[in-house]
Structure 1
Amino acid sequence: MAVTVRRFSCPPEDVFAALADPWVYPTWVVGASRLRAADRRYPEQGARLHHSIGVWPFVLNDETKVEEWDPPRRMVLTARTWPFGEERVQIEASPRGPGCVVRMEEHPVRGPVTLIPSMLADVILHVRNVETLRRLEWVARGLAGSRASASA
């Protein structure tokens, strides 16, 4: 199980505002190339995002399902990346001063990805998720700035 932690310079509420916006999903998720559709009730439990992974023309259509939504503390997703498999992704935010600490835990749960030795899978996922959390912070800060500008 890959665990990646990053200190963000924004509060958990900003992080969860970014997580709640399905249309920015491909902006912060490394490997996601586009969002094709989102269930109307996203990010509620059971809702799905219909996305694509890969780089054109090698793009696969798949989906991610919300398993748990508890803003501004925790979100759990099952991300499908068939034919490779499924991964469980848990994102938690804890306030720290004016910002927060975000912890992302990811591990393969089904399919061929479960055959990769766990030590190797953890390294690959951790490297990917360092960039994922960096992007998520940018999106969270950007959306917060947009909301602040709109209300001014």
Structure 2
Amino acid sequence: MTHLKIGDLAPDFTLPKNGGGVVSLSEYRGKKVVLYFYPQDDTQTCTLQAIDFTGKAEAFRTAGATVIGVSPDSVKKHDKFCAKHKLGITLGADEDRKVIDAYGVWREKKTFGITYMGVVRSTFLIDAEGRIAGVWDNVRLKNHVDTVLEAAKAL
């Protein structure tokens, strides 16, 4: 479980992003942010999640929220991923895992009896003051994006 909880100040960050430039959490102060962490570009579940968030990007904008995905992949890999799947969201490249560590999502995982360290799929809803308003840890995709969208609308 992530060590961050509702009411905590969301750790600020600046990361290189797909399409060039950087994305900083602080540039969204005064707006809601959906910050989601995922293990790897172009894998089955990560692709479905990115497509789901892209499909609802306009609804998130209408709710006053911006969607930012973060993985340890490079900007080059993010750019290929976005082009291949026509993604319309910002993806931050956290190759040194500093942001992933700050949010407590680099943890022990187990798949098919094999234990290893990796990104635990997690989503944080951050309010306009920069505080965590929602946490979804160890996310399963079914209805997840809709659940986060409803929470963003209610915030």
- For the aligned pair, the TM-score class normalised by the smaller chain equals under 0.3
Greater Rg, structure 1 or structure 2? 1
TM-score of the aligned structures, taking structure 1 as reference length: 0.28
TM-score of the aligned structures, taking structure 2 as reference length: 0.28
